[in-house]
Structure formats: C-alpha cells, structure tokens
Amino acid sequence: MATPFVVKDCTLISIATGEEAQNLRELSDRVKTIHPGCIYYHFWGGMLRSAFDEPEYQNDFAAWAWRSLHDSRLAERLAIVDPSHHQQDIEGLRQELIDVIDERLSESEYVPWARSGQRFKFTRSQIVVFDTGIRIAHPREMADRIARMSLGSIFYHFIDARRRTSQGKSDFVEWFYDFEEEACEELIGRINRIDPYFTTLAALRQELETAFQECQSEEERP
C-alpha cells in the first residue's frame, strides 16, 4: 500500500551576499563565481515574492537589464532562458546565462552601466519547509485538495522538487509511481508536460487542478 502524500509548505529566505554589479562586464564576472543559490534565487525567487517590479520579465537578470541598463535586446534574450531545463544542473543554467551576457558584450562597442543606486545586488536563498499536517491517501483526492494548497506548497512540491528528486520530477509524479493504475499514468504524462516557469504559481495551481479533474472524469466514465 502506498504511503500518504505529505503536504508541505515553504518560503524562501533572502540572504544578502554583499556582491554587486554596476555594469554588464561586472555582471558577467560575478555570475561566473557567485554561489549557485544566487542563480536559483534570481530565476525562481520572484514567484514567491509578494511583488515583482517587472512582471513581464520572469527573472531578475532580465528585469535589471531592462530597467537599469536600458538594454531591451539583452532583456529579451535573458527573459527566454528557461531554468526548468536545468532543474538538476544549476551549473548548466549558470553557463547559459554567461553565454547570453557575454554574447551581448561582444556585440556592443561600450559596456552598459547602471546608475550607482541601481546596481544588481546578488541575493542567495534558503528554503524553509514545514509540514502542514495534511495527508492525502489516493490520487483521486488530489483534485479537490490541490485547489486549497498554498502557493508555497505548489512551489515546494512542483518546482523545488525537481532539484530534489532522483528523476528531476515533481513530488506529485514521484508519488503517483507508487500506484499501478492507468489513470495515474495519464496524470504523470500531463503533469510532466507542464512548464512551471513562464507562468505564475496561481496559474500553475489551476493547471494542476485541471489535469487532476480531467483524469478523474475520464476514470469515472463507463
């Protein structure tokens, strides 16, 4: 018998590193050596922050390039970097980021600078996790439960899980593997096709709820 799904919640604690960049060259140099937790935070942290200055840009690097360097071309290139392709390989994400920045540097005759009060400030994150006390016995219960999960729970079980689990999958998928049911196989496929990055946590929760409801409806059909 499969063990119940343990619903957890989380928050990201921001930790200042003291590292800053005022121009694009400095950004490139810092990104090459900065703690990997900074890369994670500046790509994923915005999803859990209560406010995000530039909602059209999913990561802090793209937002800074647009707002402080006034380089829309660089901002657009940084904005399409998808960290979900590197969930278990933060160094691969770091390298993709470096490649985009260095390519832009090679195209420019001058190095873009930000004003002194608009330096990029590198921040690390530490995830704090706590048990909600909620247990789910079977996947068919998930459709109702997930609609009531906090955004922190969605982040922890769907996004952060991908760097924790052996196969780089969400906690939902890892749990479904314990159930030898056709409906679970369909759910696994649907959930694995969801890209968690170019969206919001609220929209992601709705996508998951829809996937669970549709699979449950198909299972109940005669």
* pLDDT at 53 (0 to 100): 52
* pLDDT at 217 (0 to 100): 63
CA distance between the termini of the chain: 26
* pLDDT at 185 (0 to 100): 82
* pLDDT at 135 (0 to 100): 96
* pLDDT at 90 (0 to 100): 93
* pLDDT at 107 (0 to 100): 94
For residues 156 and 125, give the distance between their C-alpha atoms in angstroms, rounded to a whole number: 14
CA-nearest of 127, 95, 89 to 8 is: 127
* pLDDT at 121 (0 to 100): 97
* pLDDT at 54 (0 to 100): 52
What would the 3-class secondary structure string for the chain be?
CCCCEEEEEEEEEEEEEEEEECEHHHHHHHHHHCCHHHHHHHHHHHHCCCCCCCCCCCCHHHHHHHHCCCCHHHHHHHHCCCHHHHCCCHHHHHHHHHHHHHHHHHHCCCCCECCHHHCEEEEEEEEEEEEEEEEECCHHHHHHHHCCCCHHHHHHHHHHHHHHCCCCCCHHHHHHCCCCCHHHHHHHHHHHCCCCCCCCHHHHHHHHHHHHHHHHHHHHCC
Q: Cβ(47)–Cβ(29) under 8 Å?
A: no
CA-nearest of 176, 171, 144 to 159 is: 171
Cα angle: 189, vertex 166, 78; to 5 degrees: 75
Residue ranges of the chain with pLDDT lower than 50? 52, 222
Q: Cα 26 from chain centroid?
A: 25
* pLDDT at 10 (0 to 100): 97
Alpha-carbon dihedral sign for residues 50, 74, 33, 111 = negative
For residues 164 and 162, give the distance between their C-alpha atoms in angstroms, rounded to a whole number: 5
* pLDDT at 55 (0 to 100): 60
* pLDDT at 59 (0 to 100): 94
The amino acid that residue 59 corresponds to is N
* pLDDT at 50 (0 to 100): 62
For residues 108 and 126, give the distance between their C-alpha atoms in angstroms, rounded to a whole number: 36
The amino acid that residue 66 corresponds to is W
Mind listing the pLDDT tens digit for each residue in 16-37?
999 999 999 999 999 999 999 9
